[in-house]
Amino acid sequence: MDPTHEAHVNRPGMVVVDVAAADDETALAFQQLLADRWATSSAERTTHDVGQPGVRLRCYLDLDQPVGSDALADAPPQVLAEVQQ
């Protein structure tokens, strides 16, 4: 995976998620679960590192931007406080 740059996490609430999974379907399903809750920069494909098991992907989350009403139901208190301001 490429290194994480300061721009990826330039403020609280920004998260870089590196996923390792057995197969494409599992990795992309996990990414979709994240995208259903938070604003996500989605990976369109997975990568495979030669000599390593499974596949990998990287996505970027903004926890300060929950997506949909269901996202707010389980949001951490600090996120709810910011949304309500």
Residue-level pLDDT at 54: 94
- The predicted structure's pLDDT at residue 84: 43
Domain boundaries, the chain: 6-84
Identify the pLDDT of residue 13.
Answer: 82
Buried b (16+ CB within 10 A) or exposed e, 10-45: eeebeeeeebebeeeeebbeebeebbebbbbeebee
How do residues 12-21 score in pLDDT, each as one tens digit? 888 888 899 9
Share the mean pLDDT of the chain.
76
Listed as ranges, residues in the chain with pLDDT below 70 are 1-10, 68-85
